[in-house]
Amino acid sequence: MARRTTDTGAELIEPDDYPQMVSKRDGLRCMQTLQSGRVALKAKTAMASYTPMLRDAIMEYVESLEEAGTDLQRVFAIAHEIRNFAENAGMATAGRVAENLCRYMDEMERVKKPVDPAIVALHVAAIARAARAEEDDAKMGDVVSAELNALVRRRLNDAGVR
Amino acid sequence: MSDGFEYLKALIVEDNSHMRSLLRALLNSIGITDIAEASQGKAGIETLRLRRPDLVLTDLAMKQMDGLEFTRYVRNDPNSPNPFVPIIMITGHTEKHHVEEARDAGVTELLAKPITAANLFSRIAEIVERPRAFVRCGDYFGPDRRRHRTEGYKGPWRRAEDMEDVEVG
């Protein structure tokens, strides 16, 4: 393995001198795969299939968050989980509020200042409200979509369309 | 035509089962099917020894052994099976000091939560397309922390026009 030393005394190992994740020949195919529309669609579909599961998980986190009360360590940990997943669950607003709360708590800890419980409580309430509204919106969307679908099928059936 | 990734082995080190499922699904979509999972750093090290993955995705914040400690082990421990393995650290902690900590531990790429397919794929593309030199300097061993084009690297797939020179069997 070829190594060289820089002016600053650092030892440098160039990419050609250590094992790469993929060979040069496979590298071309890999790049084509990563940029392919077919693969992007496959990935989007795969992620969408997890949305209902993630939505349930977020609702459980929200309940835990409300129960956490003044246990700030727990509040931070749960808010972080919500921040990590809410957008993937289609609950973007809850995720953004959770992110704001995490940033506030993290920065206050970094500068060794006490966290204001009122700010935490406001965020927790906003996360819960946003998550429930987004859950209701999604459920309402599912119901409306299913009913319209049934209506169209019935009318098409009446019109003799098979 | 094959995806190019089908012979790759991946390891996901992540304490949240939902995130593991999402990551597995995304890796599957680019053709990686040989995927091992661990729920924290210590188990990740065991799996690393047993499975010898080509790509590691790790969370930052985990109990027992976090992603930083895990990465330091992979890069520096004499028993590490592959100190050069690409490590993508996935984290919700995107504040500057956390990012610097991850960089100094020796991660290859950082991916912020919430994850998207495009973001994960762009990190993998960086590893494939622009591999970085490794540096040993003081107590640091890992990818060059200064992002720049590596002069002299013979990889032919950097730019679109380079691809014309590659023989594909």
CB within 8 Å: B157 and A39: no
How many contacts does A have with B, using Cβ atoms within 8 A? 163
CB within 8 Å: B95 and A107: yes
Distance from C-alpha of B26 to C-alpha of B57, rounded to nearest angstrom: 12
Q: Is the pLDDT of residue B161 over 60?
A: no
- pLDDT at site B135: 93
DSSP 3-state of A128:
helix
pLDDT digits 0-9 by tens, A27-72 = 999 999 999 999 999 999 999 999 999 999 999 999 999 999 889 9
Between A43, A57, A103, which is nearest B29 by CB?
A43
The contacts found for A76-81 with CB under 8 angstroms, 24 or more apart, are A76/A101, A76/A102, A76/A105, A76/A106, A79/A105, A79/A123, A79/A124, A79/A127, A80/B61, A80/B92, A80/B93, A81/B16
Interface test with B, best of A3, A31, A74, A110 (most B CBs within 10 A): A31
Distance from C-alpha of B128 to C-alpha of B131, rounded to nearest angstrom: 6
Distance from C-alpha of A2 to C-alpha of B72, rounded to nearest angstrom: 23
Percent of chain B with pLDDT over 90: 70
- pLDDT at site B164: 40
Between A13, A26, A47, which is nearest B117 by CB?
A47
- pLDDT at site B163: 40
Between A28, A50, A85, which is nearest B25 by CB?
A50
End-to-end CA distance of chain A: 69
Token readout for A83 is: 């921040």
B:95-154 residues touching chain A, CB 8 A cutoff = 95, 97, 113-118, 121-122, 124-125, 127-129, 131-137, 144, 150, 152-154
- pLDDT at site B162: 42
B:2-41 residues touching chain A, CB 8 A cutoff = 2-5, 7-8, 16, 18-19, 21-22, 25-26, 28-31
- A75: CB partners within 8 A, 6+ apart: A65, A68, A101, A105, A120, A124
The H or E element containing residue B36 is strand B34-38
Token readout for A74 is: 């727990």
User: Do B2 and A29 meet the contact criterion of CB atoms below 8 Å apart?
Assistant: yes
Does B167 reach chain A within 8 Å, measured CB to CB?
Answer: yes
Sort out which chain A residues have CB atoms less than 8 A from B132's CB and list them.
15
Between A9, A10, A28, which is nearest B163 by CB?
A28
Sort out which chain B residues have CB atoms less than 8 A from A43's CB and list them.
25-26, 29-30, 117, 121
pLDDT digits 0-9 by tens, B36-92 = 999 999 999 999 999 999 999 999 988 888 999 999 999 999 999 999 999 999 998
The predicted model scores a pTM of 0.81
User: Do B22 and A88 meet the contact criterion of CB atoms below 8 Å apart?
Assistant: yes
Give me the interface pTM, i.e. the ipTM.
0.79
Q: At what angle do helices A117-158 and A72-85 cross, to 10 degrees?
A: 30
DSSP 3-state of A161:
coil
Sort out which chain B residues have CB atoms less than 8 A from A30's CB and list them.
3-5, 30, 124-125, 128
